[in-house]
Chains A and B, each alone.
Chain A
Amino acid sequence: MRVVALGATRGMGRSLTRLMAERGDRLFLLGRDPEELAKAARDLEIRAGNDLQIGSAHCDLEDPDGFTGALDRAAATLGGLDGVIVTAGIFATQEALEQDPAAARRLLEVDFVRTVEFCEEARRRLLTGGGGTLCVFSSVAGERGRKPVVLYGAAKAGLTRYLEGLDHKFRGQGLVTVCVKPGFVRTGMTAGLSAPPFAGEPDAVARQVLSAIDRGTPVIYVPGAWRWIMLMIRSLPRAVMRRVGF
């Protein structure tokens, strides 16, 4: 597979690209920080151990004008694209966002508007090339309006619906959409938060996601237990959701 990954220098994206590099997939990395991109590429090259070079280019979700150029470079380097993975995104606690409207706007823009814009660019390219896989990390936070993730959850809910729509409209034309809904996963993004039960580790999550990519599973909860936790939370009446802390 020839795959471009946005935001894979850390967290679940890092784990996922490692699995792909080790099995021989060809990768191109997009991200904000050139030094981090270079280190991530080097790490993947050594792990793959197959003498293939891994390219990278600057791409920032806050700078949509750069999307086309970044994907151009990726496609040119890889000689085409079979997959696009988006793990980039930002997180902040609800308290922090409520106190800082600028941060709230930035989060809503990055996690919804810009991510969708990037996916649109990726969709057009994949469809032009005859199809491919678009794997995007949304969140279980988008499943229900919940007190600790009102704003973050709203952005992710929008993203989830967008990906669902893509799946319905374009799967017949060869665009396979994989919407990943992580529950709590112990990465740098969640550092400092209290881990709830069923918290996942990025490496284990990456194995599940890779299998979803290979099978073309449209929606996957990681770790798997979150599927049932969210089923329960979705079915709670409003009166209960107003009272509980989650």
Chain B
Amino acid sequence: MAFLGNTVRGWGGTQAAGREIRSEDLPAITRGASLTRGLGRSYGDSSLPAPDVSSIPGSALANRILSFDAGAGVLRAEAGLTIGEIQRLFLPRKWSFPVLPGTQFVTLGGAVAADIHGKNHHVDGTIGSHVRALTLRTADDSVVESSREENEDIFRATLGGMGLTGHVLEVEVALKRIPSPWIWAESERVPNLDEFIRSLAEAARDWPYTVGWMDALAQGGDLGRGILMRGRWAEPAEAPVHPPRPKPRVTVPFRLPGWTLNSFSMRAFNALYFRRHPNRTKRGIVHPESFFHPLDAVRHWNRVYGRRGFTQHQCVLPETESPGATRRYLEALARGRLGSFLCVIKDCGPEGEGLLSFPRPGISIAVDLPMRSRTQEIIDELNERVLAEGGRIYLAKDALSRREHFQAMEGRLDAFRIIRKRWDPAGRLKSAQSVRLLGDPV
């Protein structure tokens, strides 16, 4: 019998030697540890142990709900509770997790570490602005309460701090009151990039949830064509009376051969996806999972990228003039000629309070890139572009960025380092990613 389990992987397939130790007793397994991981849905090496570390605690089994204030909607739970579980339990009671990322398979601890954002970033900000308090195991192994009132420095550094300031043990977060657990959604084709940016801004004025899917392979006048989606929680009168049932899932049973996704098949998929949408606005009630987490319908969808896996480049670019930063970015992407299966575009609101929180005002673009020999080069070029535009990258997606690029983009790094030094003078907390990007010693 072949025994597995001595590698830890990110969602995109980046791997590190080491073993994940999961237990219901998160305080016990985090003692003396350098990093905790949740469900490993970050794409690159954010949730991987540093090269000199052989095991990593996993929070997924530490998933008890500790308290829920049914009047104010404030939930306190252990860090391994997932967003999907919260939605399953609380949507029927007309409460929603306030910030929903592209997948529901995210733990509370992971959500805090990446300071996740969602389709409502332009109105509701990142998850950090809804988090009331965190219980952390800090580098000296003590357990510390933190909030805006207590140990505020480590609270802010932990929001978006990628687990490098302490192990998140418990999270207290305010859920959002909703009129019904269903979504009223509208979607329409958008012919090109300028129109896309304009219509995102227009939709942002009236809609709490907006996002765009873009055909990153279309060229010339079609550059930036795609589908704009906007939505809001449905009013009781327009929604079905019964709560949504969990959606059935299909599974990609094994890693597909590496050639399945090539520039031809991706181009065909993107064109088909664009043309399948009718040339008018689609409107109606949709299941919240289909609206917020469409890819969750396919378990292990990362396997379509084969053994070599994939990465994602997600950045946010200040968009001030037209044709602006986003166009230059897409042109740089097209020059890479690697193809992208999926490109998601979203306008961001104001920057959050997390010290390394990703979003800032501008346009966020996320492109999936298969891992090939040229991928590093393309990421480097894209990062040069991001740097030139004054943008930044999202660490939860990153596997390949270079230290010098990241540090040049991240003006807030010194403030983060000061707080890290204060709470972890010996430098015990680190990840494979922090070794790569922050230069943590091994």
Contact = CB atoms under 8 A, between A and B. Distances in A.
Interface in A38-91: 39-40, 42-43, 46-47, 49
A197 B64 CA distance: 28
Interface string A191-207: 11011110000100000
B338 interface: no
B65 A42 contact: yes
A144 interface: no
Nearest to A192: B21
Contact of B5 (A39, A47, A194): A194
A212 to B, nearest CB: 21
Contacts of B2: 197
A197 B1 contact: yes
A93 interface: no
Contacts of B24: 9-11, 14, 187-188
B17 to A, nearest CB: 13
Interface residues of A, number: 24
A12 to B, nearest CB: 11
A40 B4 CA distance: 32
Chain B interface size, under 10 / 10 to 19 / 20 to 34 / 35 or more: 20 to 34
Given A11-B24, A195-B4, A197-B2, A46 B19 contact: no
B272 interface: no
Given A42-B67, A43-B64, A188-B22, A197 B89 contact: no
Contacts of B6: 194
B61 A39 contact: no
Nearest to B93: A49
Contact of B66 (A43, A188, A191, A197): A43
B23 A40 contact: no
Contact of A39 (B4, B55, B64): B64
Given A43-B66, A196-B1, A197-B1, A202 B21 contact: no
A46 B67 contact: yes
A147 interface: no
A186 interface: yes
B29 interface: yes
A192 B19 contact: yes
Contacts of A194: 3-6, 19
Interface of A: 9-11, 14, 22, 39-40, 42-43, 46-47, 49, 186-188, 191-192, 194-197, 202, 245-246
22 contacts: A10-B24, A10-B25, A39-B66, A42-B65, A42-B67, A43-B64, A43-B65, A46-B67, A46-B68, A47-B89, A49-B89, A186-B61, A188-B23, A188-B24, A191-B22, A194-B6, A195-B5, A196-B1, A196-B3, A196-B4, A197-B2, A202-B61
